[in-house]
Structure 1
């Protein structure tokens, strides 16, 4: 059985060169090179051809991408994945806290990527894990994975054009003053750390919208439950922007938060909206706030 990822198109322009049609169908030059040299296939009306082929209206074009190989060091593992949505193109998961999205030196196994490779292998897919929306290890909630490099290419284009929208909820120290505000401050790596980021003039543009949901006190400690919308996806963006405001996330020791109430940063991706990379269908996924964050809010009202 041929497990190669395959797309089919109908030619709509008389006399168009196949290469031009493939560009209009958003097949990247990199993908075309892989198709040519790594075991892919281009056919028109079921006959193999090259990119110089002249198309006629109604021609049936089939693009078979070469089988993918997972990265070295990415072990195939099997385990539970909380699947919110899945089709031939994308996989949307609800990631628990304390699980890495990709393996690292400190946490080489049981990452989302490891388990996704096992999931794909069980499905007979010649593919590897392509992370579209990554979450920090301690952050919980929705994340999206592309099931093929071409889909990853399409979702990357969508992210750069602002067509993928993510919203988060967090609990931060102190009572945030403004009910709604936008934080537009550049973020870059801190000179004294390979991990920590900070607001700095020479950093990358970063934009976060903040909405207050509830101000409360827990054991006489002021806290605020907030919703955040990301317009950019910089590393640690929410954590850095809220710390810059003087309201670090509960549990976020790296940026000035306390772990007295929660043993991780209190951050959860509650909403993910996007257009399907192949069909253009509008997709919207939601995830209830993680239980540990719900409990912190609930206990403050007791």
Structure 2
């Protein structure tokens, strides 16, 4: 894909080098190196320019991010793709369950990466897969994909610095407190490469905040729907923390193997807020519940109408 950007130099940048200006615009060193390799990757007033050139008020700086490569190990394969938002820099989808993010030994062509590669292959556009927030195979919801090297580097850094605000929704056993904070370190289970546990001696710090949204009964068993925000991003953090306070997720075969109300763990990445990596616009993107969660909550709340108003429920929260 090719992304072209144009900047009119303002007074506050007069006398700075192009390299300094790009750094202020959050261009990473890796992005600048690629621009230097690209013919006419950087142009000042229509002429190919180097990063050490000095810019003046009123100059027009043109940037060309040209990528003709593609992710060689990702086979284009049509799949479920629910697009929530798309522009020149980012693609945001509502990831379905039973869908891994990346191909692996046992998941060669059934992943989100395959479906997105197919989507752009149909448009004859070369594409490198850059997923910003990775979800477990059976976790549904908001997943952000960068469409170029610049948006990818900016969002990846913000993700590491916890500058992407995310809210998850979980269906858990029992009636939780109305709200709470779980501050318990998490470490790897000794006899498993996948499973995690609360480990107060050797675990890494993990903090989860939660608010209860709903309570209902299914076949005599109480279920709470909770919204969660994470201060940290440990593997299986929500699943481990909710199990630790005796409210394990429905359908979680790892941490609650006897519950079969859902066929997968009841966890959904419901909402994400962040500043657009290029325009700076503040983005708020919500993903509706998947069909299995929607059916369960309608059954539990004894409602016949379709569409649980999840987005407004989340926006009403005061974290």
1:249·1:257 contact (CA, 8 Å) conserved in 2? no
User: Which runs of structure 2 are paired with 1:56-75 in the superposition (5 Å)?
Assistant: 56-67=56-67, 69-75=69-75
Q: Is the partner of 2:204 in helix, strand or coil?
A: coil
Q: Is the partner of 2:193 in helix, strand or coil?
A: coil
1:142·1:271 contact (CA, 8 Å) conserved in 2? yes
Structure 1: give runs of 5+ residues left out of the alignment: none
Deviation by residue 1:83-114 (Cα, 9 ceiling, x = unmatched) = 11111111111121111222222222121111
Structure 1 residue 6 corresponds to structure 2 residue 4: yes
Distance 1:63 1:94 in 2: 31
1:241 corresponding residue in structure 2? 241
Q: CA RMSD in A?
A: 2.1
Structure 2: give runs of 5+ residues left out of the alignment: 303-319
Cα 1:35–1:238 change in 2 (3 A) is: same
Distance 1:232 1:55 in 2: 41
2:80·2:96 contact (CA, 8 Å) conserved in 1? no
Q: Following TM superposition, by how much is the alpha carbon of 1:52 offset from its aligned partner in structure 2, in angstroms?
A: 1.3
Q: Following TM superposition, by how much is the alpha carbon of 1:38 offset from its aligned partner in structure 2, in angstroms?
A: 5.9
User: Which runs of structure 2 are paired with 1:263-278 in the superposition (5 Å)?
Assistant: 263-278=263-278
2:178 corresponding residue in structure 1? 179
Q: Which segment is superposed worse, 261-270 or 154-163?
A: 154-163
Q: TM-score normalised to the size of structure 1? A: 0.90
Cα 1:53–1:199 change in 2 (3 A) is: same
Q: TM-score normalised to the size of structure 2? A: 0.86
2:312 corresponding residue in structure 1? none
Structure 1 residue 147 corresponds to structure 2 residue 136: no
1:165·1:272 contact (CA, 8 Å) conserved in 2? yes
Distance 2:197 2:5 in 1: 43
Distance 1:4 1:300 in 2: 49
Distance 2:46 2:147 in 1: 25
Distance 1:5 1:280 in 2: 16
Structure 1 residue 261 corresponds to structure 2 residue 222: no
Q: Which segment is superposed worse, 250-259 or 16-25?
A: 250-259
2:275·2:282 contact (CA, 8 Å) conserved in 1? yes
Distance 1:123 1:232 in 2: 38
Cα 1:291–1:255 change in 2 (3 A) is: same
1:117 corresponding residue in structure 2? 117
2:206 corresponding residue in structure 1? 206
Q: Is the partner of 2:209 in helix, strand or coil?
A: strand
Distance 1:40 1:199 in 2: 53
Distance 1:237 1:244 in 2: 10
Q: Is the partner of 2:2 in helix, strand or coil?
A: coil
1:252 corresponding residue in structure 2? 252
Distance 2:53 2:112 in 1: 42
Distance 1:214 1:32 in 2: 49
Distance 1:126 1:45 in 2: 29
Distance 2:154 2:198 in 1: 30
1:169·1:228 contact (CA, 8 Å) conserved in 2? yes
Q: Is the partner of 1:255 in helix, strand or coil?
A: coil
